[in-house]
């Protein structure tokens, strides 16, 4: 009997231990499940909050915006730039434009409309939402107007700015002229943004301009190889194109340098491939009149005709905007300044005259430059003489060895913070003291 009771106690004790073990296991399992459920809850909550934030960002990013493209002569339409981004090149001028809208609110009527002022033609008809103005024609654009219609014009404002002679113009909005429109004052870039009615536009987003100096050598102003804190001069060559540009350009390229070539219209018509080669090497092309006329002896209308005719020839050959004029003999009396103001171009003179045309002496030309040169000089030479080409091959490395940067006239002015004005004379760009 006692043996049976002891056996029962052992059995009961075993059952108790097994039950306690099961209970402990269940308790641990319940705690693990609670932890898993809590983690699932946190995950679901996180996804919900993240989704709301993402939706808010997406909703904000999908407000009504513009996007736009310019057609550059000899290049074509560029990739679209988004709302509030600068869209420009410095190696060609625009001849066409198209503008679109995206993320237009559902049920809201209207679209974006625009006009372009085409040089020699005037304001175009009104185009809208992606239609191309000017594609296939060769004259530069001098201004734009952009506006909204339908419900959009009551809910939004469209602001826009144009790049003219290296400077972004003040904002225009809702159909206003983008800049003071005048013969020769063509645009080089655009910036457009759509904002809610009455809201001021944001600052321009400083995106990289297309065709920077690293990507394309055909720059005429403001590139990354220039250090404004270091001395620089502008070599300039008149009266071409002729037979010696290739030697001069080869020397410039060898020493990572640029220059400005002021070309005569009749000469350019004879040597169009030379103009293109010089421009393609990254040098600046300037206007030296159509037939090397003594401009003060002409009427203002005749001066403008000479300059405009040469502008057209050089723009077609070089793909550049051709914004600078050097009047033959440096003569700016009479009606020259009013004429250049009308064409929208400054007059570029010089601070060192090598008299290479008179001496035709290589050594003398070299000595004049190296004995007189100072930071900010504009140096006058002529590309039509063999002796000048020989002098350039010596002057360029000598100036580089002295620490000078050899830049275009436009680059020199920009590095010194000078916004050249139409009709005004410039003979040097000294560093500010």
Q: Supply the residues annotated as catalytic.
A: 238, 382
Contacts of 21 (CB under 8 A, 6+ apart): none
Q: Which helix (H) or strand (E) holds 303?
A: helix 300-318
How far is residue 262 from each of residues 238, 286, 292, 295, measured CA to CA in Å? Answer: 5, 4, 11, 15
Three-class secondary structure of residue 186 per DSSP? coil
**316: nearest Cα among 343, 285, 283, 341:** 285
The partner residues of 192 in beta bridges, in order of sequence, read 160
Contacts of 366 (CB under 8 A, 6+ apart): 391, 394, 395, 398
**Three-state secondary structure readout of 35-67:** HHHHHHHHHHHHHHHHHHHHHHHHHHHCCCEEE
Task: Tell me if the bond preceding 241 is cis, omega within 30° of 0.
Answer: yes
Three-class secondary structure of residue 205 per DSSP? strand
CA 250 – CA 282 distance, rounded (Å): 12
Do residues 249 and 283 make contact, with C-beta atoms less than 8 angstroms apart?
Answer: yes
CA 291 – CA 326 distance, rounded (Å): 13
Q: Which helix (H) or strand (E) holds 238?
A: strand 232-240
The runs of H, that is alpha helices, within 123-280 are 152-155, 245-254, 265-270, 272-280
- Residue 163, classified by CB atoms within 10 Å of its CB into exposed (0-12), middle (13-18) or buried (19+), is buried
Three-class secondary structure of residue 158 per DSSP? strand
Three-class secondary structure of residue 87 per DSSP? strand
DSSP of 342-398, one letter per residue? HHT--EE--SEE--HHHH--HHHHHHHHHHH--TTBEEEEETT-HHHHHHHHHHHHH
CA 95 – CA 108 distance, rounded (Å): 32
CA 292 – CA 191 distance, rounded (Å): 38
């Amino acid at each position: 009997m006692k043996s049976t009771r002891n056996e029962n106690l052992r059995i009961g004790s075993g059952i108790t231990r097994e039950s306690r073990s099961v209970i402990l296991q269940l308790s641990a399992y319940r705690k693990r499940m609670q932890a898993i459920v809590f983690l699932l809850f946190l995950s679901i909550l996180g996804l919900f909050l993240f989704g709301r934030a993402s939706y808010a960002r997406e909703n904000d990013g999908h407000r009504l915006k513009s996007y736009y493209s310019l057609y550059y002569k000899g290049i074509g339409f560029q990739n679209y730039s988004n709302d509030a981004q600068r869209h420009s090149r410095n190696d060609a001028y625009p001849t066409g434009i198209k503008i679109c809208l995206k993320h237009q609110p559902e049920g809201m009527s209207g679209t974006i409309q625009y006009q372009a002022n085409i040089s020699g033609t005037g304001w175009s008809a009104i185009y809208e939402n992606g239609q191309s103005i000017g594609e296939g024609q060769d004259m530069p654009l001098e201004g734009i107007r952009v506006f909204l219609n339908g419900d959009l014009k009551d809910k939004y404002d469209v602001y826009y700015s144009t790049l003219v002679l290296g400077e972004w113009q003040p904002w225009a909005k809702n159909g206003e002229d983008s800049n003071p429109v005048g013969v020769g004052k063509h645009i080089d870039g655009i910036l457009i943004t759509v904002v809610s009615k009455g809201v001021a536009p944001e600052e321009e987003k400083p995106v990289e301009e297309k065709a920077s100096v690293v990507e394309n050598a055909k720059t005429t102003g403001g590139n990354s190889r220039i250090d404004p804190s270091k001395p620089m001069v502008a070599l300039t060559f008149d009266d071409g194109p002729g037979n010696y540009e290739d030697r001069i350009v080869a020397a410039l390229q060898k020493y990572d340098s640029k220059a400005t070539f002021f070309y005569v219209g009749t000469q350019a018509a004879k040597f169009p491939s030379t103009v293109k080669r010089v421009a393609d090497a990254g040098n600046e092309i300037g206007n030296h009149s159509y037939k090397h006329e003594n401009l003060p002896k002409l009427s203002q209308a005749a001066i403008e005709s000479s300059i405009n005719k040469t502008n057209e020839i050089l723009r077609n050959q070089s793909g550049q905007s051709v914004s600078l004029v050097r009047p033959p003999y440096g003569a700016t009396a009479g009606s020259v300044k009013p004429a250049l103001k009308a064409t929208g171009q400054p007059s570029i003179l010089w601070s060192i005259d090598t008299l290479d045309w008179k001496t035709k002496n290589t050594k003398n030309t070299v000595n004049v430059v190296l004995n007189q040169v100072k930071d900010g000089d504009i140096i006058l030479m002529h590309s039509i003489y063999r002796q000048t080409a020989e002098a350039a091959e010596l002057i360029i490395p000598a100036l580089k060895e002295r620490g000078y940067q050899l830049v275009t006239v436009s680059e020199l002015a920009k590095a010194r913070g000078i916004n050249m004005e139409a009709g005004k004379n410039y003979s040097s760009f000294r560093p500010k003291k």
